[in-house]
Amino acid sequence: MTRAEKGVAGFVVTLMALLFYGLITGGLGPAYFLYLVGLVGMYILLSFGLNVQWGYTGLINFSVAAFFGLGAYGTALLTADSSPLAGGFNPLVGLVLGLVLAAVLAVIIGIPTLRLRTDYLAIASLGLAEVVRLLMLNERWLTNGSAGLRGIPGFFEGWPFLATFPQTMPGLRFQQLEVGIPGIFTVRILGFTIGQSFWQALLNVFVVAVFVGVVYLLLRHVHQSPWGRVLRTIRSDDDLAEALGKNTYAFKMQSFVLGSVIMALAGVFYAHLNLFVSPGDLEPINTFYVWIAVILGGSGSNRGAMFGGFVIIAIQEGTRFLGGALPDTLPVDLPALLGVIESTYATIVGNFASTRLLAVGVIIILVMRWRPEGVLPPQRELIWPSALADADVPGREAAREAKVTDNNNETGSVHDPESLDDASDDVTEDATDDSGGDAPSSGDDVQANGGGRDE
């Protein structure tokens, strides 16, 4: 692993250890823990969608919340008990409607806006987000207005076995224990109950895990396909792609629609996770949280999008409880001249949840200063094993083994990395013989390069 990958792995392991500690000590309920995992999956899906548009193609889309809201309201209007439109449909029907609404709106908006460049497209997409939010807020006959839509069923409502899974699973009670060193310190662990809410949250985690897995595999294939390479060319130089004969407008439209549908999928999951949607879920701040996740992880990197979604939830939810763990006042007495420090500290601790935006801003500044390409840039995702095999970079040996394995699968023969170098040496010797014994300088270079790979 690279240094960045080791750092990410260490961060994730540390945070998971803290969550596990909170879980076993009773500070974090099991059902709420799984709810947070579901939110992480939701932000990963949103980051995937924006990554297709911005990371692959360079489309600045500030209407992430709009397509997220279309997915959430699309399924809620067909499944919620309080829906003024219909209600009572199977969640799968709501899933289809939410994705179709997002795709149709993406095409409608993309026709006039995708011909715009950079900041003009950003302004147009930002206006779209506000239009959709105000539509959900003011059209009470259709969306129930600011009251939102309640009574949304779980995603597996109406399914055989899974619909009654939470009710049929037994409740478990874990007896509270005290562990530690007598007379020095003791810690109370366990002491919680696993009931119906836990099993329902477990089903939600299963749903989002399937969604994330399918989308990740799809985008991984897309990223390395000819279609994905055209998108990256468009992002680097739109005019160059056109000069190569590519219909850049069509490729942009396809990318915009695909990303919007993935965002709507996140909205569908959120509706059946939270069981309630309202216009407040479409606030512009949610769009910029997704942008932060993509920028933090690395534009164009699917692994980075996953890491960014994880960090955003850690900031959002972690700041809800961190203020309660800090003392209300500074543990030291300061001179009267430094009284402003005490008052500032008290204000921050008393309103710690509102400082999450400050934390996000600090993270952006640090990333832009030290890792402008993101924590997990996409280079390693774009390099083919055959290209990496001959490069003097970390992972070279593994790539060469993968290359040899691929050759074995294609030819049915067995080769090893040394045989590849031997073949290169044979070619060099043949070139020397054909030239009458005097090898040209280019042949010498080839031979030198062939020898250099064994180092």
Shared-domain flag, residues 433 and 316: no
The DSSP secondary-structure symbol of 390 reads T
In a domain, 336, yes or no: no
Q: How far apart are CA 349 and CA 341, in angstroms?
A: 12
H or E element that contains 178:
strand 177-181
- Do residue 75 and residue 205 come from a single domain? yes
Which residue, 291, 326, 361, sits at the end of a domain? 326
Instruction: State which of 280, 296, 326 marks the end of a domain.
Output: 326
- Short-list 412, 438, 439, CA closest to 428: 439
- Together in a domain, 319 and 430: no
Residue 232 in any domain: the answer is yes
Residue 78 is assigned to a structural domain of this protein:
yes
> What residues make up the domain containing 430?
422-455
Choosing from 326, 361, 380, the residue where a domain stops is 326
For residue 145, CA distances in Å to 32, 83, 133, 177, 385 come to 28, 11, 10, 48, 53
Q: Is 92 among the domain residues?
A: yes
Q: Within a domain: residue 106? A: yes
Q: What is the mean pLDDT of residues 341-356?
A: 71
DSSP 300-317: T-HHHHHHHHHHHHHHHH
Q: Minimum mean pLDDT among 25-34, 67-76, 238-247, 252-261: which range?
A: 25-34
Higher pLDDT, 306 or 451: 306
Residues 272 and 129 in one domain: yes
Q: Is residue 26 a part of any domain in this protein?
A: no
Domains of the chain: total:
2
Whether residue 427 is found in the same domain as residue 313: no
pLDDT at 88: 83
What's the rounded Cα separation, in Å, for the pair 124 and 113? Answer: 7
- Who's near 225: CB < 8 A, 6+ residues apart? none
For the stretch 167-204, pLDDT in tens is 888 777 777 777 777 766 666 777 777 888 888 999 99
Do 316 and 427 fall within a single domain?
Answer: no
**What tens digit of pLDDT does each residue of 353-393 get?**
667 677 777 877 887 788 888 888 876 665 555 555 555 55
On whether residue 207 sits in a domain, the answer given is yes
What SS3 class is residue 96? helix
> What's the Rg (C-alpha) of the chain?
27
pLDDT over threshold 80, residue 228: yes
- In this structure, is residue 407 part of a structural domain? no
Contact 265, 99 (CB under 8 A): yes
Once rounded to an integer, what is the mean pLDDT over residues 128-132? 92
Task: Give me the CATH number covering residue 130.
Answer: 1.10.3470
